[in-house]
Amino acid sequence: MKLFLNRPAFFYEMENLCRLFLPHESFSHEETPFTESVAGDYAVCDFAPDMRRLFCGVRLADQTVSQTADLPPALPERELEIEMARGLYRLLSKLCGFSPPWGVLTGVRPAKLYSSLLHETGSAAGAQAYMQQRLYVQPEKIALCGHVMAAEEKAAAFDAPNAFSLYVSIPFCPTRCSYCSFVSHSVEKTAKMVPEYVSLLCDELAAVGQWADRLGLSLKTVYFGGGTPTQLTPQQSDAVLQSVKRNFDLSHLLEYTVEAGRPDTVTAEKLAVLKQHGVTRISINPQTMHDSVLAAIGRRHTVQQVVNAFSLARSMGFNNINMDLIAGLPTDTPAGFAQTLDQILAMGPENVTVHTLAVKRAARLAGTTGARDYRFAAQTVSDMLHTAAERLTSAGFAPYYLYRQSKMFGNFENVGWTLPGRECYYNLYMMNEMHTVLAAGAGAVTRLKEPGGPQISRIFNYKYPYEYCERFATVLQRKQGIGEFYEQYPIHPSLSTG
């Protein structure tokens, strides 16, 4: 699709907006002036020279719609961009036959926007009115933001300017799932690399721990992600966990999470190592409770293995377990997803995270690039998410964190649901950029947060394990940036906490 915008700075946001309706489409920014004789599909947005009028037009599959809107005087740049997005949203909704529930929002953290609007307008009613009337966000999504913001405020009460979280990346899995967009590698192909990776990871943890100690940072949460951390052998897990214990003060931890996402990697020996080192929370992630759907997405485990892994973890004393589900998997149906929910709730986890499948990994479900096929798939996911909200709420769960990704079916969201008092604080601190996250391992990103202030800086590790191992000296050198950041934004003694 050709995009004709006489405000080129808005191209990125308008392209993202168009992808909400046409996720498989490619877009080009046309620098030549728009004429009605242009060939193919297009979207055009033109402000009048006095910025008091906006013309928008869209042609899609030989159907053309257009609209002209009068604008208030002297709108700031941000509001001009919103006006352009609103115009495109109205026309694309008409042509495609559906209206994405988050309206013109394309950002990752809508609850953060809701919080900002709450302070700007001075009331929940003002924030809700702006999101619904200006941004076209549907009421149930605004309510979801309100629930999540309440959980964020609870987590903030345990935060402090010298607080931080630790993220440890284990980027290996038994096999790679067909929908996966993370930097993870099948151990079938990388087994020889794992011992070296574990050794270097322990060295990096030592370096990060030295910076934390030198700066007087207080560790609140630890999170092992991946990949599948329980893909490591018990001995390898013990080495990494020992490195964390040796190099960090764990006496002020709120929680210690290790993803045991693939149930086919969960054994009594591995769980015993986690328990020995004080891990308080794990994830056992079925994604679905249908063997046929598991086969369709390339997960080489069975539903029974999910049940067995969960039962084993409970028997060994793990009393805070998360389970991930994905709405919109290939071959799944709303009825099948409802059955999965019933089975999961019968098992009794403390957290259930409901993800929406990203379109870029869902060609089999989307079928074609046509708007009608996408609309059908988006409605399917909508039905699944509605069922999840109903059943989880009835079972005593509440939404506590929320984030969105590009190219998700129907422009929906990922939501973490929790029983009262069982929120994952790492998810809240990380997703809402509340404090520093020091990160180790391939693909890990250290995010440095100004103590008591808004500034954020990032330090990136090499993305792939082989790069991480080959260029490890540079990985350690980059960690000098931790000290440089806190020299520029020091922690005031009166702001510190244990």
Instruction: Give residue-wise pLDDT tens across range 418-441.
Output: 999 999 999 999 988 999 999 999
Q: Report the relative pairing of strands 445-449 and 456-460 from DSSP bridges.
A: antiparallel
CB contact burial 237-246 (16+ within 10 A = b; e otherwise): bbbbbebbee
Q: Report the relative pairing of strands 53-60 and 63-70 from DSSP bridges.
A: antiparallel
Residue 361 scores a pLDDT above 50: no
CA–CA gap between residue 444 and residue 438 (Å, rounded): 9
CA–CA gap between residue 215 and residue 409 (Å, rounded): 43
DSSP 8-state assignment for residue 250: -
Residue 157 scores a pLDDT above 50: yes
Question: Which segments within 382-464 are labelled E, that is strand?
Answer: 398-403, 414-418, 436-440, 445-449, 456-460
Please report, for residues 14, 464, 486, the alpha-carbon distance to residue 82 in angstroms, rounded to integers and kept in the order given. Answer: 10, 38, 36
Residue type, 179: Y
pLDDT category at 493 given cuts 50, 70, 90 is low
Range with the poorest average pLDDT among 184-193, 241-250, 383-392: 184-193
Per residue in 199-210, pLDDT (tens digit) is: 999 999 999 999
Q: In the prediction, which pLDDT does 255 show? A: 96
Joined together, the tokens standing for residue 62 give 């030989």
Q: Count the neighbouring beta carbons within 10 Å of the beta carbon of residue 329.
A: 30
Q: In the prediction, which pLDDT does 376 show? A: 73
Burial of 356 (0-12, 13-18, 19+ CB in 10 A): buried
Average pLDDT score over residue span 209-215: 97
The average confidence (pLDDT) of the chain is 91
Residue 186 backbone dihedrals phi, psi, to 5 degrees: -65, 130
CA–CA gap between residue 89 and residue 85 (Å, rounded): 6
CB 114 within 8 A of CB 145: yes
Range with the poorest average pLDDT among 93-107, 110-124, 231-245, 403-417: 403-417
Best CA proximity match to 279, nearest among 315, 232, 310, 319? 319
Residue 363 scores a pLDDT above 50: no
Range with the poorest average pLDDT among 278-282, 335-339, 406-410: 406-410
CA–CA gap between residue 212 and residue 214 (Å, rounded): 6
CB 288 within 8 A of CB 325: yes
pLDDT category at 179 given cuts 50, 70, 90 is low
Residue 182 scores a pLDDT above 90: no
Per residue in 437-460, pLDDT (tens digit) is: 999 999 999 999 999 899 999 999
CA–CA gap between residue 95 and residue 309 (Å, rounded): 47
CA–CA gap between residue 258 and residue 490 (Å, rounded): 31
Range with the poorest average pLDDT among 204-213, 389-398, 416-425, 489-498: 489-498
DSSP 8-state assignment for residue 442: T
Is residue 160 helix, strand or coil?
coil
CB 21 within 8 A of CB 31: no
pLDDT category at 173 given cuts 50, 70, 90 is confident
Separation of first and last alpha carbons in the chain: 55
Q: In the prediction, which pLDDT does 177 show? A: 62
Cα 162 from chain centroid (whole Å)? 25
Range with the poorest average pLDDT among 18-27, 182-191, 287-296, 416-425: 182-191
CA–CA gap between residue 208 and residue 480 (Å, rounded): 9
Q: In the prediction, which pLDDT does 152 show? A: 86
Best CA proximity match to 261, nearest among 327, 310, 315, 316? 310
Residue 249 backbone dihedrals phi, psi, to 5 degrees: -85, 110
User: What is the percentage of the chain residues whose pLDDT exceeds 70?
Assistant: 93
CA–CA gap between residue 378 and residue 100 (Å, rounded): 9
Q: In the prediction, which pLDDT does 366 show? A: 41
Q: In the prediction, which pLDDT does 185 show? A: 52
Residue type, 498: G
Q: In the prediction, which pLDDT does 176 show? A: 62
Q: Report the relative pairing of strands 351-356 and 414-418 from DSSP bridges.
A: antiparallel
Cα 57 from chain centroid (whole Å)? 33
Range with the poorest average pLDDT among 77-86, 143-152, 273-282, 338-347: 143-152
pLDDT category at 369 given cuts 50, 70, 90 is very low
pLDDT category at 300 given cuts 50, 70, 90 is confident
Residue 63 scores a pLDDT above 50: yes
Q: In the prediction, which pLDDT does 129 show? A: 97
CA–CA gap between residue 435 and residue 252 (Å, rounded): 15
Transcribe 20-70 into DSSP letters.
Answer: HH-TT---EE--SPP-TT--S-EEEEEE-TTSSEEEEEEEETTEEEEEEEE
